[in-house]
Every structure is written in structure tokens, then in C-alpha cells.
Structure 1
């Protein structure tokens, strides 16, 4: 098994060999042949510096051509890549470095940050910006050095370590097998159906499971072209990238789609497909986005524990409000708290998945591994509803459920009611402890810019009274200018909880 050949080398004897594989703001376009040679050159650098095949290596860098080359070069040399988000704090990066046991890394950050990280990562050998220099040197000389032989991979060999977001505690490392990476094009890849000629743009970064699949695993195997976005991603930045690069496939998250639904300019658009993941996609938002973009919006669900997307709607029948069905090769069941499969005309419970990409467990966390990786697969942490023979509906995250007077309430249920109120641009509900230590629901509302805030507040209160039982109604309503989001554009509920506690 050879990972670089599987994803890149397969195109070198085809008309795609000189077609652009990637586009970024620093190096411009890089073709498949140049990408392959650059990966070999970085592997040669690793070998020359005594890096042992089988080692884990941190890849601490924003999305760029150089970042992709670093990952491919590591695989060429037989090393497992550990992508890390550079937006994390020095302390968080230091934790991941120690937890994963990496001994060296590819680091591409600013000079000021680099000096701070040198203190945070004293025991890690760093290849700083070497990849970019290798590519530029190859371009100047027009020649490529003879690369070392590629390391062969066993199917169960660790090739990628991804860290969970740590939203419910410290981040946990998930080791993915080489065979899992190769399976992705056969799973969700069959639904996205990328092809040579497609131009892919993902707002999720390579340091996240969703972005890694969007920008590397799927498009490379398909021979497509991928646009890599460097820096923070917001609606204006994405809109500009859409106008400039005219992608055919867009991968993003619901909150960015909500912004695009208001500002997207379809003149000159070449979009044929949009994919959403990362958080719940309300049915009304899905319909608005599809009307504005003029293309199917595939709603999907994935998890770091299983590498990439596991459930998705059919582009031909998007089905707003559902997360669709398991992708090819995946089995999804709804289970109770004891792990028993629920069977009935309509059931609700924990989502359990099994398939080729499900990892074996977390790094050095046996208790958490036993809780999540059980019953022949993994629990995603989601509560879902399923009708017999029908699609799966997302209810909420198990750890986001509110305990209100002994009743379990999904924030999404309250949010769905509030979003229907005229004048509400966005909203979110979180649980916050009151003075007695009891959990209360706090509703945060973003008002449309041209609406009078007090009138919208009154309308929200009236709607809640009409639509929800008293036990489900928020105890407090806060009007805010915007909802906090993470680096990838997902709602940062932990920040809202902190705000609500004060």
C-alpha cells in the first residue's frame, strides 16, 4: 500500500499530470507532477535529517500548498501526520505535542509566534518553512532531485492523528489507519462525485477532520483542483473567493451558508454542489441556501473518531431537515443508553456508526475509548431520530442537552421556534447554572439590522409562549450583535456559556 501513489501518483500517467492540483495565495498553482516531486523532495529532507519512518510529526500550519506537500512528504517517508490548528494557544499546542509524543514537526507561523513556540516546544525538532523553499528552488532550477524510495504502508498502520476539538474537556488524539484514508473516496466520495475539472473550495481547514477530507483526501484522489484559503474565514472572505476562483463544489458550515444566503452573487457562478457539516443545518436555512445558490445543498454528519463524513443526504433529493442516510460502507444504528439497538416505526436515541474509517480508540485514554468505541463501532455523541426505512434526523448533541427541572430539552428545538420569528437573524440556546446551581436555559438572539430590538424581543416571548411548554422556555433572553464562532465558523457554545454566566 502506497499512500502518495494512491492520492497523487495515480494521475502522473494521465492528462491530469500537469493540471493544477492546488491554488493558494503564496505559490499560486501547483500541478500534480510538481506536487509529487515536492513531496519527494521533502521526504528526502526528512531522511537526510535522520527522521525515522514510523514517527509522528506535527504539522502546525494554516492551509497552503506547502502544508499539503508537508503531509504528503511525511507519508512518502512513512511518518504519521498530526495536523494542528495554528489558531490554538501555545499552551494547547504544547499539550497536543506532549500527548501525541511527536518528536519533530513542520511549523509555518509568523516569526514572533515561532519564537514563543520554541519555548513551548523545546523538545521538538522543527522544519520551519522548508517546504516553501523546496518548491521555489525546484521552480528556479527546473529540475527535481531524485527522491528516496517511498515507504510502503500496512493497512492497519497509523497514518494520521487528528485531535478532537476538546469542547467537552481536553482534546483527545484519534489515530487513523492508512486503509481508512484510502476508503474515504469510496464512502462520501461516491456521493460528492468529484471529477477532473472540478474546482473545490472548503472553508474548513486541513487541521480539522472535515477540512482534511474536503481539501486533501477527496479532491486529490479525484484529480480535481482545490483552492486553499489562508487566514481567518468569514462570509466576506468566502464571497470574494467564490467570485475569484469560481469553484464548482463548496464545503462549508451552516453559519457561513446563512451569511451567503443573504449576500451571494450568482453572476458567473459555476457551483454545482454545496456540502454542509459541522453543526445542525435547520430545514428553513437549507431551503434558503439552495434557493440563493441555485444548487443542491448536501447536509452531512461526520466525526473525528471516524475520520470524515458518515451520513449524508442525496444531492438529487436533498431532504431539508435530515442528515440523510449512511454513506456506502457505513452502518448506522440508533441505540439506547445501554447500547441496545432501537427498532420501531420511529425511534430516538444515540447514534452509533460502524465502518472502515472508524478508529480503534483514543491515544492513551482507555476509559474514554471504552465509552466511545464500543459495540463494534463508535458512538458519535449525537442524539438522532429515525423512522423505519427513512432518513435520519438530527436532534442534538448529547452533551448539549439541557436538564430543565428534570426534563431533557434539545437546544435545537427552542432555536427552531425562535428562528421563525420575523426580525430574528440568528439565535442560540445554552444551559447556565443559576444562583442555586440549577441549570437554566439562556437564549441569545441576533436581531435583523433594520428591526426594533424591543419589538423583536416581545415577538420572541410571544412565540415561545405559544409554541413551547413552560418547562422548555428560556429563563433569560439576551440580545447580542453577533454569536461567537470558532476558527471554522461553527457556533462557539462554550463562549456563550461563559457570557451567560455573568
Structure 2
């Protein structure tokens, strides 16, 4: 039996004309007084009703068009963990614009390169967040975005569901960040996650531990709850993992979502009784069986993992209706056509290969922006190649085996080592250097930089240099001197041997 999923009965096609933001907020329009969003802290919460959220989103759309923007223009978002982010994101999409969220941790050189790639017509920015240099692009302060909430509501910009809706950045196999362009239909595909992973309904209160601008938070933490009329709970700035159990209890969360690293930190402390919690969701990095078992023992609920990527969000998962077998990530979500490919097509079940998604999946990206060669390189015989190595069992369960390439994934952030090494060019005192992901303890990995030098270099000096050029999640946390970097006969770096060279002090 070959490693191809049976997607089941065809899903209803995405309606046309269509607008992603209109779809996300349609259910909330019938529930104007219900809480759509709470920014939660140990000291209390900021509350947004659906009526307030929809007015702010549609007012933002009107305000952006009044600035002279036209449908199709790109809007670079430089916003923090506040409601400004979803208001700007959905407001732009309402008006037919294409928002591009970016991490607030990006440095000036990083965001300058990012802006050059997407050529935005406008930047929406909060105070204290790095902006690109050398660009004439106008900047809209977040304070002016707030004032747009009182403007007349923008009409939904309707059109083909295949037109561009938003772009997100991910590290590509080329070693530089790729702008992944998604269509409006991407939100229609997320319906397969509501039952196939999240077990999400209108009565739920979903607490997501991530930042607003992470695609995991954007989808699972905000847009999915709003699509079904549920309530999204997002921790405010400064909330730490050890405070999350209190927030889960105090705000009656029924579903909790986070990356495994956050869950691991949370479970180090004392957990109160959580009678309202139904289950947890895990994505962003591989979930270890031991962590899932610890969660089950401590909370009395299950933890459902999902596997996906920026190019297609999540499409493999366990769920309350079909939990993943131990040691597996889960199953192809209903409606997803996936395969495990070898050199000659789908491999027999039980054999390892490359996970692939069929080209017609409504959640699959449109393209890597301005990179047709890289876009074409990711397809083979109609299949989109994810780069993930997996095995499909006889029952269809997927076991994750790792990445085909050398990309790192510390803390749930996918990072290219080539990208980090390019930023560290000129590392003071180093003759040669390279980075790799290393395990510091079971289930926890960090980026380590290995270098050659006549004598050990000062780690604080190296860390300061890295901090000036890289976002925190891209910075090496460990520094180790080697006599020589491991290379093959052709001089190519052996990254697996490099990671194995790390030794605790």
C-alpha cells in the first residue's frame, strides 16, 4: 500500500467572490456584544467585543484607502503584541491590500533587507520597533491607526479567492528569508483544522501563548476562534510561561495552544486545577512523547500536535476525535491529499520519504514572492515538497523524522544557518565559523556557533556582536572554539558533525 492519504469526500470549494477578512468576521457580526479578544495578564484583561473589533477593522480599511493606497498594494507591519496587529492585518485585507507581518525582533539591517524584497507602499509601525533605512516609504504611526476606528466602515473588497491576501516570511532552502504569498482562500482551508486538529467551537475560549505576529498565533490563536465565533485569549506583553497556568484558570480557557518549549517551561511549576480546560494544542516544533505524557498526567487532558509550515500552515495533526498514536504527529486532516515521496514517487507505507502536499490544496501558498525559480523547485509531478522527512504507517499515521535540509528550529522558529552566518560575517577574532542547532537537554535545542581562533574568544563580546545584527531568536546562545570545522574532501561543511562537536563546559 502506497503512502498517499485518502482525502475523503471533496470539500465545498471556496466561494467566489470572496474576502478573507469578511469570512473571519462574519460569525462575529451576529454576536456584536460577545467577547472576541482578551489581552490577559495576572492583573486583569483588556477586552474587545466583536462589535468593537469589526468597527476597528473596517475603519482601518477605510483609513488606509484614504491615504491613497489601492488594492494589491503591500503594507509592512511593524507592530508588537497589541490589538493593533490584528486590526491592521485584517483592515488591510478588508480593503484588498496585502499586509506583510514581521517579527518585532528584527534589527535595522534585517528589516531593511526585508522591505527591499517586498517594496511596501506603506509601513504601519509602533514606537520602539526597528524600521528600514534608506526607503522613501511612508510610515503610519500606530496612534493614527487607532483614530481610524471611528471612520465609516470600509466595504469588503471582493474578488477571486486566488488573488493575493497576505505574505509571511520564512527561511527558504536558498539560505535567505522567502516571502510566502498566500491567497484569500487560505482561510477557507483552515476549516479543515477546526475539527481535524483544534476541536474548536463557538463556546470555546482559546488561550494562545504566542506573539500576535507569529503565523501560529495569527491562525490558531486569532483567526480560527473568530471564524467560529469563539473568544481568543492572548497573554499581554511581559507575561512569562510560569504565569500561564494562573491565566488558564482565571480566564476559563477551554483550549490552550503553544510551542512545546513554552509548554515545557510551564510544566516546571505548580499547576492549579483546570476544570474548564478540554485539551492543549502544540505546533512550531516537534512534540516529544515524554512532554505529551507529562501534560496528560499534570492536566488530565490530551495534547494534540500539528505539523505544517508557513507555505501551507498545518495539515497533519492529532485531534480530540482522532488522537495521534504514541510517537506519531497525527493523520492527514480530512480533505488533505498528502503523500510520502521517494525518488520515483510515493513510497510504500512504513518507508521513509519526503512529505508532500498536492498542488490543489486551498491552503497552499501562491508563490515565493519574486522567486519563480525557487517556487518551481518545490514542486514535482504536482506535489509540493515540504522538505520534512516522515514515515506513513499502515493506518495512515505520520511519524516525523526530521528535516531534509539543514534548517534549524530552536524554540519553534525556523532559521536558516546560512542566514545567521551571513549576518555574523566579520565575527571579531574568528578565523572561521559556522552555526548549528544543538540539544542542551532532552527536548531543548539552541543555536551554537563554532569557530576557529588562536585562543578562546570572549563569549560576551561575541554575543554583543550577534545582538547588533540578528533578532534574538536567530542569535547563537553557545560559543565553542574548535581546532578546525568539520568538512568533507570537497571542503563542504558537515553540519551534522558540527552539531555533534558541541560539548558542555
Q: Take 2:138 and 2:34, find their aligned partners in 1: how far apart are those partners? A: 34
Decide whether the 8 Å contact of 2:60 with 2:145 is kept in 1: no
1:273 corresponds in structure 2 to 279
1:153–1:264 distance in 2 versus 1, CA, 3 Å = farther
Q: Deviations over 1:155-207 (max 9, x none)?
A: 11100101104697211011101012222123455432322231112123332
> Structure 2 length normalisation: TM-score?
0.74
| CA spacing shift, 1:41–1:253, aligned 2, 3 Å | same
CA 1:126–1:193 in 2, change beyond 3 Å: closer, same or farther? same
Q: State the match for 2:338 in structure 1.
A: 332
| Structure 2 residue aligned with 1:419 | none
Could you tell me how far 1:365 is from its partner in structure 2?
A: 1.8
Residue of structure 2 equivalent to 1:495: 476
Task: For residue 214 of structure 1, report the CA deviation from its aligned partner.
Answer: 1.2
Contact 1:352 1:377 (C-alpha < 8 Å) held by counterparts: yes
Query: C-alpha root-mean-square deviation of aligned residues, in Å?
Result: 3.6
CA contact (8 A) 1:203 1:233 kept: no
Distance 2:118 2:318 in 1: 35
Which residue in the other structure is 2:125 paired with? 107
Q: Confirm whether residue 12 of structure 1 aligns to residue 29 of structure 2.
A: yes
Equivalent residue of 2:306, what SS? strand
Partner of 2:180: 174
Tell me if structure 2 keeps the 8 A contact 1:185–1:217: no
SS at match of 1:297: strand
Structure 1 pair 167–494 and aligned structure 2 pair: CA distance change class (3 A): farther
Aligned pair 1:22/2:40, yes or no? no
The answer to whether the 8 Å contact 2:193/2:333 transfers is: yes
Q: Deviations over 1:261-283 (max 9, x none)?
A: 32251324521121111111111
Q: Is the 8 A contact 1:62 1:230 kept in 2?
A: no
Which of 212, 236, 241 lines up with 1:235 in the alignment?
241
Using the size of structure 1 for normalisation, the TM-score is 0.75
CA distance in 1, matches of 2:116, 2:71: 19
Q: What is aligned with 2:218?
A: 212
| 1:301 partnered with 2:307 | yes
Structure 1 match to 2:94: 76
Partner of 1:128: 141
Structure 2 gaps of 5+ residues are 1-17, 411-416, 418-431, 443-462, 484-505
Write the deviation string for residues 478-500 of structure 1: whole angstroms up to 9, x where unpaired. xxxxxx9x9xxxx9697367547
Partner residue of 2:317?
A: 312
CA offset digits 1:87-111 (Å, max 9, x no partner): 111211111111112120221232x
For 1:376-407, what per-residue CA distance to the aligned partner results, in whole angstroms no more than 9, with x for missing partners? 232222111122233110111122499xxxxx
Describe the shift of the 1:309–1:43 C-alpha distance in structure 2 as closer, same or farther (beyond 3 A). same
The change in CA–CA distance for 1:70 and 1:440 in structure 2 (over 3 A counts) is: closer
Report if aligned partners of 1:18, 1:32 keep a CA contact under 8 Å in 2. Answer: yes
- The answer on whether the counterparts of 1:103 and 1:123 sit within 8 Å (CA) in structure 2 is no
- Which of 8, 16, 37 is 2:55 aligned to? 37
Q: 1:375 Cα shift?
A: 3.0
- Change in Cα spacing, 1:45 to 1:272, as seen in structure 2 (3 Å) is same
- Following the alignment from structure 1 to structure 2, what is the Cα–Cα distance between the partners of residues 51 and 439? 43
Q: After TM superposition, give the deviation of residue 134 of structure 1 in Å.
A: 2.5
Give 1:32 deviation, angstroms.
0.8
Residue equivalent to 1:399: 405
Q: Flag the 1:22–1:297 CA change in 2: closer, same or farther, 3 A.
A: same
**Contact kept in structure 1, 2:331 and 2:397, CA below 8 Å:** yes
User: Are the counterparts in 2 of residues 199 and 247 from structure 1 also a CA contact under 8 Å?
Assistant: yes
Give the distance between the partners of 1:286 and 1:500, measured in 2 at CA.
Answer: 36
Contact kept in structure 2, 1:188 and 1:309, CA below 8 Å: no
Matched residue, 1:198: 204
Separation in 1 of the partners of 2:391 and 2:107? 37
The alpha-carbon distance between structure 1 residues 501 and 378, as it changes in their structure 2 partners (threshold 3 A), is farther
Alpha-carbon distance in 2 for matches of 1:97, 1:10: 35
* 1:196–1:223 CA contact under 8 A, matched in 2: yes
- Which gives a bigger RCO, structure 1 or 2 (Cα 8 Å, sep 6+)? 2
Q: Which moved more, 1:205-214 or 1:182-191?
A: 182-191
Whole-Å separation in 2 of the counterparts to 1:3 and 1:439: 42
Matches of 1:281 and 1:171, distance apart in 2: 25
Q: Distance in 2 between matches of 1:200 and 1:238?
A: 13
Q: Deviation at 1:216?
A: 2.5
Matched, 1:151 2:157: yes
SS in 2 for 1:206: coil
> Cα distance 1:130–1:190, how it changes in 2: closer, same or farther (>3 A)?
farther
Q: Secondary structure at the match of 1:21?
A: strand
For the Cα contact (< 8 Å) 2:279–2:303, is it kept in 1? yes
Structure 1 residue runs of 5 or longer lacking an equivalent are: 139-143, 403-410, 413-429, 431-436, 448-483
Identify the match of residue 52 of structure 1 among 70, 73, 76: 70
Tell me the equivalent position of 1:454: none
Aligned to 2:372: 366
The one of 334, 347, 353 equivalent to 2:351 is 347
SS in 1 for 2:235: coil
Greater helix percent: which structure? 1
The answer to whether residue 385 in structure 2 is matched with residue 379 in structure 1 is yes
> In structure 2, what is the equivalent of residue 223 of structure 1?
229
